Structure 1
Amino acid sequence: MPHEVHITQTPHRDLAVVRTATTFPGIPAAMGQAFGRVAAYLGPLGLLGNSPAVGLYTDMDLQAGTLTVSAGFRVGRPVEGDGTVVPAELPATEVATTTHVGPYATVSEAYDAIAAAMALQGRELDESTMWEEYWSPPGTPDEDTVTEVFCPLKPAA
């Protein structure tokens, strides 16, 4: 399925996350543990709503194959955290975005589509921070899994 890429302005959003320094192959395990920990923290506070799970990727070193993953959930207000669960923010910024339908293992196709579309438009990605929103509950068949991908853009020249 082709990826339709859009440029849009995203609003500021607060998150509750667990941050993990990991390798690219370690992302699924880190995220699974983080989502469970954040859900356990937010549930008793009444803050685990209908928002998607979020994976925020920073500190990427492609040569070393390492990055920091901040995985958790959007929340309606900043949280204090408990030392393991910490507050985080998604910036209000201009992004290139697309929706990926299919297995997580093929979500890189969405990033490739964003990079190609922005190159055609003469826009440059700010690769210091990228994020994904996971809209499918656990147990969704791979072919029906919906992931929205966001890549901030550098200011237009």
Structure 2
Amino acid sequence: MAATEAAGNQNENAGGSKKKLIIIIAIIVLVSVGASIGVTMFFLGGDHQEAAVEAVPAVPVRKPAIYYEFSPAFIVAINVGGKQRYMQIHLSVMGRDQAAFDVIEQHMPLVRNKLITLYGSQDFRRMQTPEGKAFVLEESRRIIMEVLDQESDGMEIERALFSNFVMQ
């Protein structure tokens, strides 16, 4: 009987050691899975922070320039010392918003009237100088911006340009 009890104790010890072995293996598996997740998060977590920094642009991106050419050309008569002179201007404007050009087209009679009045009031000799041409370009831009300010919200024309300029 004593031998049977000793054999039973060995079986209990063997069953207990199997349970301990299973628990130890389970702990090792859980620790290794946790460690691999931690290492993965460490390496991937650093990339997410850099990507977040890269996603915020330091300088706002500008829209591409769009050009609009007034057609037909502006032709005005200027009286110079009793002689009739003519000035022909092909005007283009540069902006970055197509909606601004749509507003200009919608109010074209008003814009053309103001520009023709400007061009017809210029001194012929002054228009032969670079300063005179630069003044007229800036005034052309200002007149167009006046119309845009009255008829729209926040639209802008950046530059006015001569695509052709003839005086005779």
TM-score by length of 1: 0.23
Higher helix share: 2
Higher strand share: 1
TM-score by length of 2: 0.22
Higher relative contact order (CA 8 A, sep 6+): 1
